[in-house]
Amino acid sequence: MPQALKAIYRSGTFILQTACDLPEGVEVELFVQSPQVVPPKIADISARQNFLKLLVKRMQQNPIPANAPRFTRDMLHERR
C-alpha cells in the first residue's frame, strides 16, 4: 500500500520530514509535487539548442499511448 512521506531536497539528498518505518534497503519511487522545481540553466546557446532538439526527439519517440489513463481534475490539483 502506498505511503505518503514528505521530504526536503538539500545538497543531493532527500531529508524526510515525516517519520517512516521502512525496511533497510527498500526501493522507493519519488513523485515531485512542488511547483518550485527549477530546470538546470544552460547558458551556451548551441548547448541549449542541442538539448531542446534531443528533448523533442525523445518526446516524439515516446508518445503518450492513446489508451493512457486520463487525469481527473482532483489528480491535477494539490490536496492539502
Below-70 pLDDT ranges, the chain: 1, 34-35, 37, 78-80
Query: How far are the Cα atoms of 8, 34, 42, 55, 60 from residue 39, in angstroms, in the given order?
Result: 17, 13, 9, 13, 21
- The length of the chain is 80
As given in the structure block, the three cell numbers for residue 68 are 493512457
Q: What is residue 37's predicted lDDT score, i.e. its pLDDT?
A: 64
pTM equals: 0.39
Q: What is residue 30's predicted lDDT score, i.e. its pLDDT?
A: 83
Q: What is residue 47's predicted lDDT score, i.e. its pLDDT?
A: 92
Instruction: State the pairing for strand pair 13-16/7-10.
Output: antiparallel
